[in-house]
Amino acid sequence: MINRATPQSAVTLHDIYLARARIAGQAVRTPLVKSVSLSERFEAEVYLKLETLQPSGAFKLRGALNAIAALDEATLERGVTTASTGNHGRAVAWAASRLGARAIICVSGLVPANKVAAIEALGAEVRTVGRSQDDAFVEARRLVAEEGMTLIEPFDDPLIVAGQGTIGLELMEDVPELDRVLIGLSGGGLLGGIGRAVRGINPRVRVTGVSMMYGAAMIESLANGHPVEVEEVETLADSLGGGIGLDNRCTWSLVREVMSDHHQVSERAIAAAMVHFLEVEKMLVEGAAVVGLAALEEHAIDIRGEKVALIVSGNGVDMATWQRARGMTDT
């Protein structure tokens, strides 16, 4: 088992294979489908990794299952908690219900109502605290200190990183000659895990991170040379919100190691990508799931002749957010 107290270098390719064995039969091996429209548009082979088809609706289920399945019975009985912008909370609720643990999910007031409802539908208690994920974390840590619950980190945990890294194993098995993968970047668990996996198998794969234009904590932290706080702002890519923790011990250094390049995208570009996914790919997905396409379009990234994967990370979009995105493309 991964030692949670060790640095990120302990998250090895072997650990990711162990995670795959641990979550087998619960998390889905999601399909990787070729987009005909995007392949023609960019003169490349463009594939969509459909994490929207996980039982919880997003990739977060992999890491949550890996972390909760590693707990002993006595710890499970005391319950689990976390702070979340939505998808991680839903994943923890789903995994806890399957493994027989009570779950309390702490969220901020910025989390959309549809994501709160989805968490509650899985039997977890939701507590709304403050206006940022950092505020929600205060309550989660109180539950750990005062009620003995176990904190399931959204991203900054080797077990979470290893769980998300199983996506990378599937990518390399399905497209062994993969040239590039574009991944939404927030706390770094998804990019760090996938990056560790794909570059552990083939160091030549380019790992491209994508963030929204404002409130991108990981990018600000990398630019400053250490974790920093940023103000959270409303964005179509709400799943990419939140800080990385001033005491970050895992993902900040891992992202710095495995990420090849990075792009920030505007709200208008995210909106246009969401509209493309619904109208052309016939998929209703959240803003964070389309930032890879937004980056290809807005930054004119030259991928001609490449085999490229876009991580379609989740489907947690409400109609108000979708209508806001549609409105941006109509002006």
Taking residues 266-272, report their average pLDDT: 97
Rounded to whole angstroms, how far apart are CA atoms 62 and 282?
A: 25
**What's the confidence (pLDDT) of residue 132?**
81
Query: Which of 57, 70, 58, 69 shows the shortest CA–CA distance to 98?
Result: 69
**What's the confidence (pLDDT) of residue 5?**
39
**What's the confidence (pLDDT) of residue 125?**
96
**8 or 65: which leads in pLDDT:** 65
Read off the pLDDT of residues 274-322 as tens digits, 9 standing for 90 and up: 999 999 999 999 999 999 999 999 999 999 999 999 999 999 888 888 8
Rounded to whole angstroms, how far apart are CA atoms 143 and 82?
A: 9
**What's the confidence (pLDDT) of residue 2?**
38
Give Cα 49 to chain centroid, integer Å.
13
Q: Which of 1-10, 145-154, 193-202 has the lowest mean pLDDT?
A: 1-10
**What's the confidence (pLDDT) of residue 251?**
96
Rounded to whole angstroms, how far apart are CA atoms 288 and 218?
A: 15
**What's the confidence (pLDDT) of residue 10?**
66
Read off the pLDDT of residues 238-253 as tens digits, 9 standing for 90 and up: 889 888 989 999 999 9
Percent with pLDDT over 70 in the chain: 97
Using the predicted structure, report yes or no on whether residue 197 has a pLDDT greater than 50. yes
Q: Could you give all domains of the chain from N- to C-terminal order, each with its CATH number?
A: 19-58+157-329 (3.40.50.1100), 60-151 (3.40.50.1100)
As a whole number, the mean pLDDT across the chain is 93
Beta bridge partners of 138: none
Read off the pLDDT of residues 14-53 as tens digits, 9 standing for 90 and up: 999 999 999 999 999 999 999 999 999 999 999 999 999 9
Taking residues 45-73, report their average pLDDT: 96
Rounded to whole angstroms, how far apart are CA atoms 251 and 238?
A: 20
**What's the confidence (pLDDT) of residue 8?**
41
Catalytic machinery residues:
60, 313
**What's the confidence (pLDDT) of residue 7?**
43
Residues near 43 by beta carbon (within 8 Å), at least 6 away in sequence: 303, 304, 305
- pLDDT classification of 331: cutoffs 50, 70, 90: low
Using the Cα atoms of residue 144, residue 150, residue 154 and residue 160 in order, give the sign of their dihedral. positive
Alpha-helix runs per DSSP H in the chain: 13-23, 36-42, 60-69, 73-78, 87-99, 113-121, 133-147, 158-174, 189-201, 217-224, 251-258, 267-279, 291-298, 319-329
**What's the confidence (pLDDT) of residue 74?**
94
